[in-house]
Protein backbone atom coordinates (compact mmCIF):
# COMPACT_ATOMS: atom_id res chain seq x y z
CA UNK A 1 0.00 0.00 0.00
CA UNK A 2 2.82 2.40 0.88
CA UNK A 3 4.46 1.82 -2.51
CA UNK A 4 1.18 2.52 -4.28
CA UNK A 5 0.73 5.87 -2.56
CA UNK A 6 4.36 6.73 -3.26
CA UNK A 7 3.79 5.92 -6.93
CA UNK A 8 0.67 8.11 -7.01
CA UNK A 9 2.54 10.96 -5.33
CA UNK A 10 5.36 10.64 -7.85
CA UNK A 11 2.81 10.61 -10.67
CA UNK A 12 1.15 13.80 -9.44
CA UNK A 13 4.54 15.39 -8.94
CA UNK A 14 5.64 14.46 -12.44
CA UNK A 15 2.40 15.87 -13.86
CA UNK A 16 2.88 19.13 -11.95
CA UNK A 17 6.46 19.46 -13.15
CA UNK A 18 5.40 18.75 -16.75
CA UNK A 19 2.71 21.46 -16.60
CA UNK A 20 5.08 23.90 -14.90
CA UNK A 21 7.86 23.23 -17.42
CA UNK A 22 5.46 23.35 -20.38
CA UNK A 23 4.82 26.98 -19.78
CA UNK A 24 2.41 29.03 -21.84
CA UNK A 25 1.62 26.32 -24.41
CA UNK A 26 0.03 23.97 -21.85
CA UNK A 27 -1.75 26.88 -20.20
CA UNK A 28 -3.21 27.97 -23.55
CA UNK A 29 -4.33 24.42 -24.35
CA UNK A 30 -6.00 24.02 -20.96
CA UNK A 31 -7.70 27.40 -21.32
CA UNK A 32 -8.96 26.47 -24.80
CA UNK A 33 -10.34 23.12 -23.63
CA UNK A 34 -11.97 24.78 -20.65
CA UNK A 35 -13.53 27.39 -22.93
CA UNK A 36 -15.03 24.71 -25.17
CA UNK A 37 -16.41 22.84 -22.16
CA UNK A 38 -17.87 26.04 -20.70
CA UNK A 39 -19.68 26.79 -23.98
CA UNK A 40 -21.16 23.28 -24.12
CA UNK A 41 -22.20 23.30 -20.47
CA UNK A 42 -23.43 26.88 -20.72
CA UNK A 43 -26.06 25.91 -23.29
CA UNK A 44 -27.30 23.08 -21.07
CA UNK A 45 -27.41 25.30 -17.98
CA UNK A 46 -29.23 28.03 -19.91
CA UNK A 47 -31.95 25.73 -21.24
CA UNK A 48 -32.45 24.30 -17.72
CA UNK A 49 -32.76 27.83 -16.22
CA UNK A 50 -30.25 26.89 -13.52
CA UNK A 51 -28.79 29.81 -11.53
CA UNK A 52 -25.22 28.60 -12.10
CA UNK A 53 -22.71 30.12 -14.50
CA UNK A 54 -20.56 27.89 -16.74
CA UNK A 55 -17.44 28.98 -14.84
CA UNK A 56 -19.00 28.00 -11.52
CA UNK A 57 -20.12 24.65 -12.93
CA UNK A 58 -16.58 23.91 -14.15
CA UNK A 59 -15.21 24.60 -10.66
CA UNK A 60 -17.91 22.42 -9.08
CA UNK A 61 -17.15 19.66 -11.60
CA UNK A 62 -13.41 19.83 -10.83
CA UNK A 63 -14.05 19.68 -7.08
CA UNK A 64 -16.46 16.77 -7.50
CA UNK A 65 -13.86 14.92 -9.59
CA UNK A 66 -11.21 15.42 -6.90
CA UNK A 67 -13.57 14.18 -4.17
CA UNK A 68 -14.47 11.09 -6.22
CA UNK A 69 -10.81 10.25 -6.87
CA UNK A 70 -9.82 10.65 -3.22
CA UNK A 71 -12.91 8.81 -2.00
CA UNK A 72 -12.38 5.94 -4.41
CA UNK A 73 -8.73 5.62 -3.47
CA UNK A 74 -9.42 5.64 0.26
CA UNK A 75 -12.67 3.70 0.53
CA UNK A 76 -12.28 0.93 -2.04
CA UNK A 77 -10.24 -2.10 -1.05
CA UNK A 78 -8.23 -1.94 -4.28
CA UNK A 79 -6.97 1.67 -4.53
CA UNK A 80 -6.22 1.41 -8.26
CA UNK A 81 -9.76 0.27 -9.07
CA UNK A 82 -11.14 2.86 -6.67
CA UNK A 83 -9.22 5.68 -8.32
CA UNK A 84 -10.22 4.53 -11.81
CA UNK A 85 -13.85 4.29 -10.71
CA UNK A 86 -13.62 7.69 -9.03
CA UNK A 87 -12.23 9.27 -12.20
CA UNK A 88 -15.03 7.78 -14.31
CA UNK A 89 -17.73 8.84 -11.86
CA UNK A 90 -16.22 12.29 -11.42
CA UNK A 91 -16.02 12.90 -15.17
CA UNK A 92 -19.37 11.57 -16.32
CA UNK A 93 -21.73 12.01 -13.33
CA UNK A 94 -22.27 15.82 -13.68
CA UNK A 95 -23.04 15.54 -17.41
CA UNK A 96 -25.37 12.61 -16.74
CA UNK A 97 -27.11 14.77 -14.14
CA UNK A 98 -27.65 17.58 -16.66
CA UNK A 99 -29.04 15.19 -19.27
CA UNK A 100 -31.32 13.58 -16.69
CA UNK A 101 -32.54 17.00 -15.54
CA UNK A 102 -33.32 17.91 -19.18
CA UNK A 103 -35.35 14.72 -19.67
CA UNK A 104 -37.29 15.42 -16.47
CA UNK A 105 -37.94 18.98 -17.64
CA UNK A 106 -39.32 17.76 -20.98
CA UNK A 107 -41.54 15.24 -19.18
CA UNK A 108 -42.85 17.99 -16.88
CA UNK A 109 -43.60 20.23 -19.87
CA UNK A 110 -45.41 17.36 -21.59
CA UNK A 111 -47.68 17.06 -18.55
CA UNK A 112 -48.36 20.82 -18.38
CA UNK A 113 -49.22 21.40 -22.04
CA UNK A 114 -52.79 20.08 -21.75
CA UNK A 115 -53.59 22.41 -18.84
CA UNK A 116 -51.88 25.31 -20.62
CA UNK A 117 -54.07 24.82 -23.69
CA UNK A 118 -57.19 24.95 -21.47
CA UNK A 119 -56.01 28.22 -19.92
CA UNK A 120 -55.27 29.69 -23.33
CA UNK A 121 -58.65 28.62 -24.76
CA UNK A 122 -60.55 30.22 -21.87
CA UNK A 123 -58.43 33.37 -22.00
CA UNK A 124 -58.82 33.67 -25.76
CA UNK A 125 -62.62 33.50 -25.46
CA UNK A 126 -62.57 36.47 -23.07
CA UNK A 127 -59.86 38.44 -24.91
CA UNK A 128 -59.00 37.32 -28.47
CA UNK A 129 -55.29 38.09 -28.18
CA UNK A 130 -52.74 35.29 -28.40
CA UNK A 131 -49.96 37.16 -26.48
CA UNK A 132 -52.42 37.90 -23.67
CA UNK A 133 -53.47 34.24 -23.58
CA UNK A 134 -49.83 33.17 -23.33
CA UNK A 135 -49.27 35.73 -20.57
CA UNK A 136 -52.21 34.27 -18.65
CA UNK A 137 -50.52 30.86 -18.82
CA UNK A 138 -47.32 32.37 -17.40
CA UNK A 139 -49.28 33.98 -14.57
CA UNK A 140 -51.43 30.95 -13.73
CA UNK A 141 -48.98 28.08 -14.12
CA UNK A 142 -45.59 27.31 -12.63
CA UNK A 143 -42.30 26.29 -14.18
CA UNK A 144 -41.06 24.85 -16.39
CA UNK A 145 -43.73 25.77 -18.97
CA UNK A 146 -44.16 29.29 -17.58
CA UNK A 147 -40.42 29.88 -18.05
CA UNK A 148 -40.49 28.73 -21.68
CA UNK A 149 -43.60 30.80 -22.46
CA UNK A 150 -41.92 33.75 -20.77
CA UNK A 151 -38.98 33.45 -23.18
CA UNK A 152 -41.48 33.31 -26.06
CA UNK A 153 -43.12 36.55 -24.89
CA UNK A 154 -39.74 38.26 -24.53
CA UNK A 155 -38.87 37.36 -28.12
CA UNK A 156 -42.25 38.68 -29.30
CA UNK A 157 -41.90 41.96 -27.42
CA UNK A 158 -38.41 42.42 -28.88
CA UNK A 159 -39.83 42.33 -32.42
CA UNK A 160 -39.95 38.66 -33.38
CA UNK A 161 -43.21 37.73 -35.18
CA UNK A 162 -45.45 35.62 -32.96
CA UNK A 163 -45.51 32.66 -35.34
CA UNK A 164 -41.71 32.69 -35.53
CA UNK A 165 -41.49 32.90 -31.72
CA UNK A 166 -43.75 29.85 -31.49
CA UNK A 167 -41.53 27.96 -33.95
CA UNK A 168 -38.45 28.98 -31.93
CA UNK A 169 -40.10 27.56 -28.81
CA UNK A 170 -40.81 24.32 -30.66
CA UNK A 171 -37.17 24.04 -31.72
CA UNK A 172 -35.86 24.98 -28.29
CA UNK A 173 -38.06 22.51 -26.39
CA UNK A 174 -38.49 19.19 -28.29
CA UNK A 175 -41.56 18.15 -26.30
CA UNK A 176 -43.99 15.94 -28.19
CA UNK A 177 -47.16 17.52 -26.81
CA UNK A 178 -45.79 21.04 -27.14
CA UNK A 179 -44.82 20.34 -30.74
CA UNK A 180 -48.35 19.15 -31.47
CA UNK A 181 -49.87 22.23 -29.85
CA UNK A 182 -47.59 24.72 -31.60
CA UNK A 183 -48.04 23.08 -35.00
CA UNK A 184 -51.83 23.26 -34.65
CA UNK A 185 -51.66 26.87 -33.44
CA UNK A 186 -49.44 28.03 -36.30
CA UNK A 187 -51.60 26.28 -38.89
CA UNK A 188 -54.78 27.67 -37.31
CA UNK A 189 -53.42 31.22 -37.31
CA UNK A 190 -52.24 30.84 -40.91
CA UNK A 191 -55.55 29.56 -42.34
CA UNK A 192 -57.71 31.64 -40.00
CA UNK A 193 -59.26 28.85 -37.93
CA UNK A 194 -61.22 29.05 -34.69
CA UNK A 195 -58.37 29.36 -32.19
CA UNK A 196 -60.34 28.52 -29.00
CA UNK A 197 -61.78 25.42 -30.70
CA UNK A 198 -58.31 24.39 -31.88
CA UNK A 199 -56.91 24.81 -28.35
CA UNK A 200 -59.77 22.76 -26.88
CA UNK A 201 -59.19 19.97 -29.42
CA UNK A 202 -55.46 19.96 -28.67
CA UNK A 203 -56.10 19.61 -24.93
CA UNK A 204 -58.54 16.76 -25.58
CA UNK A 205 -56.05 14.98 -27.85
CA UNK A 206 -53.28 15.27 -25.26
CA UNK A 207 -55.61 14.08 -22.51
CA UNK A 208 -56.55 10.99 -24.53
CA UNK A 209 -52.88 10.35 -25.30
CA UNK A 210 -52.04 10.36 -21.59
CA UNK A 211 -54.95 7.98 -20.90
CA UNK A 212 -53.63 5.54 -23.50
CA UNK A 213 -50.12 5.80 -22.08
CA UNK A 214 -51.39 4.92 -18.60
CA UNK A 215 -53.26 1.91 -20.00
CA UNK A 216 -50.16 0.72 -21.87
CA UNK A 217 -47.96 1.24 -18.80
CA UNK A 218 -50.33 -0.91 -16.78
CA UNK A 219 -50.35 -3.67 -19.38
CA UNK A 220 -46.56 -3.74 -19.78
CA UNK A 221 -45.68 -3.40 -16.08
CA UNK A 222 -45.33 -7.18 -15.71
CA UNK A 223 -42.86 -7.37 -18.61
CA UNK A 224 -40.71 -4.61 -17.12
CA UNK A 225 -40.75 -6.31 -13.74
CA UNK A 226 -39.65 -9.58 -15.34
CA UNK A 227 -36.75 -7.76 -17.02
CA UNK A 228 -35.46 -6.36 -13.74
CA UNK A 229 -35.96 -9.67 -11.91
CA UNK A 230 -33.97 -11.50 -14.58
CA UNK A 231 -31.28 -8.83 -14.45
CA UNK A 232 -30.88 -9.05 -10.68
CA UNK A 233 -31.18 -12.83 -10.40
CA UNK A 234 -27.49 -13.62 -11.22
CA UNK A 235 -26.33 -11.33 -8.41
CA UNK A 236 -28.78 -13.01 -6.02
CA UNK A 237 -27.54 -16.47 -7.04
CA UNK A 238 -23.92 -15.44 -6.51
CA UNK A 239 -24.78 -14.03 -3.08
CA UNK A 240 -26.56 -17.25 -2.09
CA UNK A 241 -23.63 -19.42 -3.18
CA UNK A 242 -21.21 -17.11 -1.34
CA UNK A 243 -23.30 -17.44 1.80
CA UNK A 244 -23.41 -21.24 1.50
CA UNK A 245 -19.75 -21.83 0.64
CA UNK A 246 -17.46 -18.95 -0.43
CA UNK A 247 -14.96 -21.36 -1.96
CA UNK A 248 -17.46 -22.28 -4.68
CA UNK A 249 -17.28 -18.85 -6.35
CA UNK A 250 -13.83 -17.64 -5.31
CA UNK A 251 -12.31 -18.56 -8.73
CA UNK A 252 -14.68 -16.03 -10.34
CA UNK A 253 -13.10 -13.19 -8.36
CA UNK A 254 -9.52 -14.37 -8.04
CA UNK A 255 -8.55 -15.70 -11.49
CA UNK A 256 -8.22 -14.15 -14.93
CA UNK A 257 -10.64 -16.68 -16.42
CA UNK A 258 -13.13 -15.82 -13.69
CA UNK A 259 -12.92 -12.13 -14.59
CA UNK A 260 -13.60 -12.97 -18.25
CA UNK A 261 -16.60 -15.11 -17.28
CA UNK A 262 -18.01 -12.35 -15.06
CA UNK A 263 -17.49 -9.77 -17.80
CA UNK A 264 -19.21 -11.86 -20.47
CA UNK A 265 -22.05 -12.76 -18.11
CA UNK A 266 -22.54 -9.11 -17.18
CA UNK A 267 -22.60 -7.98 -20.81
CA UNK A 268 -25.08 -10.71 -21.81
CA UNK A 269 -27.22 -9.89 -18.79
CA UNK A 270 -27.35 -6.20 -19.69
CA UNK A 271 -28.16 -6.98 -23.33
CA UNK A 272 -31.01 -9.27 -22.24
CA UNK A 273 -32.52 -6.66 -19.91
CA UNK A 274 -32.27 -3.95 -22.57
CA UNK A 275 -33.91 -6.16 -25.19
CA UNK A 276 -36.81 -7.02 -22.89
CA UNK A 277 -37.34 -3.36 -22.00
CA UNK A 278 -37.28 -2.44 -25.69
CA UNK A 279 -39.89 -5.10 -26.47
CA UNK A 280 -42.32 -3.88 -23.81
CA UNK A 281 -41.77 -0.19 -24.63
CA UNK A 282 -44.66 1.05 -26.77
CA UNK A 283 -44.87 4.64 -27.94
CA UNK A 284 -48.30 6.21 -28.22
Q: Report the pLDDT value the prediction gives residue 27, as an integer from 0 to 100.
A: 45
Lowest mean pLDDT among 37-41, 129-133, 166-170, 238-242: 37-41
Q: Does the pLDDT at position 25 exceed 50?
A: no
With CA atoms as reference, report the closest residue to 116 among 213, 200, 212. Answer: 200
Q: Does the pLDDT at position 22 exceed 60?
A: no
What value does the mean pLDDT take over residues 250-262?
80
Mean pLDDT (the chain, rounded): 79
Q: Does the pLDDT at position 150 exceed 60?
A: yes
The dihedral region occupied by 52, where left means phi > 0, alpha psi between -120 and 50, and beta the remainder, is: beta
Whether 148 contacts 172, CB under 8 Å = yes
Q: Which residues contact 190 (CB under 8 A, 6 or more apart)?
A: 163
C-alpha span between 216 and 284 (Å, rounded): 9
Confidence band (pLDDT; 50, 70, 90) for 104? very high
Confidence band (pLDDT; 50, 70, 90) for 278? confident
- pTM for the whole structure: 0.69
Q: Domain map of the chain by residue range?
A: 2-104, 110-212, 223-280
Q: How many CB atoms lie within 10 A of CB 70?
A: 14
C-alpha span between 134 and 130 (Å, rounded): 6
Q: Report the pLDDT value the prediction gives residue 217, as an integer from 0 to 100.
A: 74
Confidence band (pLDDT; 50, 70, 90) for 223? confident
Q: How far is CA 167 from the centre of its chain?
A: 23
C-alpha span between 181 and 203 (Å, rounded): 8
C-alpha span between 253 and 232 (Å, rounded): 18
Confidence band (pLDDT; 50, 70, 90) for 251? confident
HEC assignment per residue over the chain: CHHHHHHHHHHHHHHHHHHHHHCHHHHHHHHHHHHHHHHHHHHHHHHHCCCCCHHHHHHHHHHHHHHHHHHHHHHCCCHHHHHHHHHHHHHHHHHHHHHHHHHHHHHHHHHHHHHHHHHHHHHHHHCCCHHHHHHHHHHHCCCCHHHHHHHHHHHHHCCCCHHHHHHHHHHHCCCHHHHHHHHHHHHHHHHCCCHHHHHHHHHHHHHHHHHHHHHHHHHHHHHHHHHHHHHHHHHHHHHHHHHHCHHHCHHHHHCHHHHHHHHHHHHHHHHHHHHHHHHHCCCC
Q: Does the pLDDT at position 39 exceed 70?
A: yes
Amino acid sequence: MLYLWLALALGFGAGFLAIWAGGDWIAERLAAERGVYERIVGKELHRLFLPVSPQEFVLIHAGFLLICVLGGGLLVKSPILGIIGGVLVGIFAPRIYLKSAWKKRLAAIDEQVEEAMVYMANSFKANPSMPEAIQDVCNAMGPPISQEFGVLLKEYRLGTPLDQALVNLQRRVPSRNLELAISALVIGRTVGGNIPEILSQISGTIRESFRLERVIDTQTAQGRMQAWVMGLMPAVVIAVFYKMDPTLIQPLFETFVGYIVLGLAGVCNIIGVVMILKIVQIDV
